[in-house]
Amino acid sequence: MSSQIIKENDLIFLILDEKRRWLVQVKSGGNFHTHRGIIEFNDIIGKNFGSVVFSRPFETQGYKFYILKPLPSDYILHMIRKTQIIYPEDAGMILIYSGIGPGSVVIEAGSGSGALTCILGNFVRPNGHIYTYDINEKSLKRTKQNVMKAKLDDVITVQYGDILNDYFEQKNVDAVVLDMATPWSAVKKVKNYLKFSGTLVSFSPTIEQVKKTVLSMRENDFIEINTYELIKRKIQVKEKATRPEVRMIGHTGYLTFGKKIKNMKNPYREQKPKVPKTIDMNNMPFRG
């Protein structure tokens, strides 16, 4: 079990209310300014996750903040981000339907803001690895920052790399995860990195991208190709108004999964002599 005591450099999830919540790194002697007062980190270090802290100055502010241990979903939604990121529900499906878990080795393109990278890194620990590639220097910088902040740099390598044109040295990886504009152009190439029975996952916001990707996966002998869309609805619970919240994210993207197979022709069925298409008319009864 991981430590419950908050230490120097730990990340905490600081919550004031439903809307105001932050992912913060605790530094001895440092503080965090909010419009409801200042949180002194020395008031937090040594406390248990799951405690509360009050903002200073106590006399004029003194608001109560909750301190939780961040979950992967908190990393995603509260990290530094500039690109469209993967949402927690989609990340959950990626994990379950790809089989990515402790010990898995994964190639990801592109890194974007590193939201999915951090989720994957969190799940392949302690002995797996994520190799994430991007062609955009700003994305690489942001991903590196987020990976460091989440303390996942021992299981994640962030590197410049063009999945369409460069050659990566990883072989027999358990999964390749694509979140980029033209995933269909990468299918043939990434197949070489995957082990047999490994999973290719592609996340795309539009159906046009999905169609091209699925066709390319079929052409490249992937099997078990399936596409899904997840719709998550949060339920508001009130005394006389318990129902789905009015505002929601209506669409995140489509997830396509497929498996690499070592295909071969079927020597028993595909070479069987074909049954002649002509019909023998001898002895057929005819109407008079």
Give the binding site for ligand SAM (CB under 6 A).
83-86, 109-110, 112-116, 133-136, 139, 162-164, 179-181
- 44 close to 6: Cβ distance less than 8 angstroms: yes
Task: Find the shortest distance in angstroms from Cβ 255 to ligand SAM.
Answer: 12
In the complex with ligand SAM, the residue whose CB is nearer, 128 or 183, is 183
In the complex with ligand SAM, the residue whose CB is nearer, 31 or 136, is 136
Q: Measured between alpha carbons, how far is 125 from 213 in angstroms, rounded to an integer?
A: 30
Give the 3-state secondary structure percentages of the chain, helix then strand then coil, rounded to 5: 25, 30, 50
Q: Measured between alpha carbons, how far is 272 from 157 in angstroms, rounded to an integer?
A: 51
Among residues 158, 226, 170, which one has the least CA distance to residue 195?
170
Residues in CB range of 167: below 8 A, 6 or more apart: none
In the complex with ligand SAM, the residue whose CB is nearer, 108 or 174, is 108
Task: Find the shortest distance in angstroms from Cβ 202 to ligand SAM.
Answer: 11
Show the tokens assigned to 126.
């302690």
In the complex with ligand SAM, the residue whose CB is nearer, 8 or 153, is 153
In the complex with ligand SAM, the residue whose CB is nearer, 40 or 162, is 162
